[in-house]
Amino acid sequence: MPQLALTEAVFYILLSLQKPLHGYGIIQNVETLSNGRVKLAAGTLYGALNSLVEKGWIDALPENPESRKKEYVITKSGMNVLKEELARLSELVDNGKRLLGGN
């Protein structure tokens, strides 16, 4: 079964978690990646992180006793989902470019 589209927030969260990051780090990273366009709000990020952990697409790392901030990192199945989504997005972009003639 083809996978359903990921939300923009989830796509950027998974992309950010190639290396371990805590919540605020994710928000900053997504903002940088999107040149300031996507600003994740704390509550939305919190909900997304919990759902992603539940799905097994990301892992919550054991808490660092110094910073006391929880860090997250992508899992193998998260990587697969991300790659499939990238293929889906490429299809959209390719078709868009082909039919609109823009390049």
Partner 1 sequence: MRRVIHKIFWIWQLEKEQAWVNEMASHGYSLEHAGRFTFVFEETEPDKYIYKELFLKGWGESTENIKYFKFLEEMGIKVVCYINYPGTCWVYVRALKEDYPGGIELYSDIDSKIQYQKTMAFYMIFVSVITFLAASLNLSVVISALAAEGRFMWLNSLCAGFMYGLFVASVIATVKAFVNMSKLKKERTIHE
Contacts with partner 1, residue ranges (CB under 8 A)? 7-9, 22-24, 27, 38-44, 46-47, 69-70
Instruction: Answer for the pair 29, 11: CB distance below 8 angstroms, yes or no.
Output: no
Among residues 18 and 46, whose Cβ is nearest to partner 1? Answer: 46
Instruction: Answer for the pair 49, 13: CB distance below 8 angstroms, yes or no.
Output: yes
Among residues 9 and 15, whose Cβ is nearest to partner 1? Answer: 9
Question: Please, what is the minimum distance in Å from the beta carbon of residue 86 to partner 1?
Answer: 17
Question: Please, what is the minimum distance in Å from the beta carbon of residue 23 to partner 1?
Answer: 5
Among residues 44 and 90, whose Cβ is nearest to partner 1? Answer: 44
